[in-house]
Amino acid sequence: MRASACAKLASLSFLPQFAFRPPVSYSPRPPRLRGRSRYGAAKARQPSKDQTRMRMSQYFLPTMKENPAEAQIVSHRLMLRAGLIRQTSAGIYAWLPLGFRVLKNIERIVREEQDRSGAQEVLMPTIQSADLWRESGRYDAYGAEMLRIKDRHDREMLYGPTNEEVITVLFRDGVKSYRDLPRNLYHIQWKFRDEVRPRFGVMRGREFLMKDNYSFDIDKKGAIHSYNKMFVTYLRTFARMGLKAIPMRADTGPIGGDLSHEFIVLADTGESAVFCHKGLVDKDILSRKIDYDSDLQPIVNEWTSLYAATDDMHDKAAFEEIPEGERLSARGIEVGHIFYFGTQYSAPMKAVVAGPGGEQITVEMGSYGIGVSRLVGGIIEASHDEAGIVWPEAVAPFKVAIVNLKPDDGAVSGACQKLYDGLAAKGIEALHDDRDLRPGAKFADMDLIGIPWQVIVGPKGVSAGKAEVKDRKTGQREEVPFDQVVQRFG
RNA sequence: CGGGGCGUAGCGCAGUCUGGUAGCGCGUCUGCCUUGGGCGCAGAAGGUCGUCGGUUCAAAUCCGGCCGCCCCGACCA
């Protein structure tokens, strides 16, 4: 009501619209504390912001003991139960503090590896114009999965399901010479695909966070080098997250092109059947030193020379040539996809540069995606047990949790606080469970949310000068003198 | 988009067939007790039964429309 009245008023005015905006309050007013000053004694007793944030008694972490009926697969159940996400509409989720921390950790690793490869980060909008998509010819081709919307002037817009069109225009308008090639631009942005049937929680939502990037080269040779760079980058990215992600030759599908690999995380509950050579599982990329300007083909060949295929690309005869003991039939989740697609977009959208002889050359493109939000689910599918999530350290919301078994015991709480401060001094954020609950409930919650290391502090330990350090993954516990706990996590 | 199912307290469910004062478990709150794996006892709060309309003296329950969510398939990062 108020907004439309305001719009009407503004449209009748010949003064700038902002002059007539009602005094909207953009941030909530500070609460009035009755009976004492907001800045008085009450504040002095508050713990520091950092401590407040990481204390479970103060933390927004709604865990659930029972499985919500709507969640069918394990990662979806655990994400809801562990207080990572909440659904707001079909296939659309809100990220709660713990889940958001994981999402940001994944995003950070993706970003670091993109930067390492020489790709440059941009940020393109979520809302795009239909005209742009008409130019590439995809507006009608894309179908109902594209969320089409109209603005107030009845202009046709859409919520971007992908960004080839936008990036091609940015490139076309900004680069005119072969001297400016190659380029590789990426961004990490929310996308929307109006899936007929969203399911599996964030693994196949409608709104999802995706890293996508686009390479531009003067010729096919250059484009393949760009492709190879991303191939290696993806190997590193997933390995850093503690995942076994195997590149598999992929069908290029509706996006087109003739060179494409899917990166598949192996998980028993994966969406599709996959077949590969066992040797791929044990290959290690992180120990290699990589020069992204050198010829990466040997590394790529090393991975692609062993058989690996998803269901739809499976070649039974070729698979059976592998000695039986080295065959691996498993299930997997697609977490990344890379394409070389030549001039499919650059030609219709006229992304051309001047070559050395002044001739016009249509650039060769590739595009590369990683499902950032999907990875949160994928990692859980690949790493959980009966009790809950088992986070790989690199993506865990917290590396360490301090389990205070008796918060109302000054000695126990004092020991916990000291450990917390010691970890903080080393730059390690710990989650401090200072809630007044029975030990059993705390252990159950802690196992559910899957923090890799639990430092358990109780009265017995305090009198012996020791804490118990539990490895979430193996369940092994070890008594460690207090003064040695912090250094274990350096 | 084809086929199926479900909407009752924060979560899991019963009650609907056969209309008559809305229930159970878990969670939450208070008190006591307890304190190394979701402990025990006592008390309490919390639901216009998805929504709109119809039938009826009376609707969670019967009828119709709409909305939402889930599953299988086709599709997909």
What is residue A254's predicted lDDT score, i.e. its pLDDT?
53
- Domain boundaries, given as residue ranges, for chain A: 74-389, 400-489
Confidence of residue A201 (pLDDT cuts 50, 70, 90): very high
What is residue A334's predicted lDDT score, i.e. its pLDDT?
93
What is residue A288's predicted lDDT score, i.e. its pLDDT?
94
Considering only CA atoms, which residue is closest to the C1' of nucleotide B36? A439
CATH code of A400-489, in short, is: 3.40.50.800
CA A78 – C1' B31 distance (Å)? 35
CATH code of A74-389, in short, is: 3.30.930.10
CA A218 – C1' B32 distance (Å)? 79
Would you say residue A420 has pLDDT above 70? Answer: yes
What is residue A250's predicted lDDT score, i.e. its pLDDT?
79
CA A36 – C1' B14 distance (Å)? 50
Confidence of residue A313 (pLDDT cuts 50, 70, 90): confident
| ipTM confidence score | 0.94
Would you say residue A31 has pLDDT above 50? Answer: no
Report CA dihedral (A246, A249, A253, A255) to the nearest 10 degrees: 80
Q: Helix count (H) and strand count (E) of chain A?
A: 17, 23
What is residue A486's predicted lDDT score, i.e. its pLDDT?
96
Task: Find out whether A106 and A395 touch, Cβ atoms under 8 Å.
Answer: yes
CA A65 – C1' B65 distance (Å)? 38
Q: Shortest CA–C1' contact from A203: which nucleotide? A: B77
CB-based burial, A354-371: b 16+ in 10 Å, e otherwise: eeeeeeebbbbbbbbbbb
In chain B, which nucleotides are within 7 Å of a protein Cβ? 1-2, 11-13, 25-27, 34-39, 68-77
CA A464 – C1' B8 distance (Å)? 53
Over chain A, what is the mean pLDDT?
87
pLDDT digits (tens, 9 = 90+) for A35-71: 333 333 333 344 455 555 689 999 999 999 999 998 9
pLDDT digits (tens, 9 = 90+) for A457-485: 999 999 999 999 999 999 999 999 999 99
Task: Identify which of A51-65, A113-127, A141-155 has the greatest average pLDDT.
Answer: A113-127
Would you say residue A8 has pLDDT above 80? Answer: no
What is residue A311's predicted lDDT score, i.e. its pLDDT?
85
Q: What average pLDDT does range A368-395 have in this prediction?
A: 96
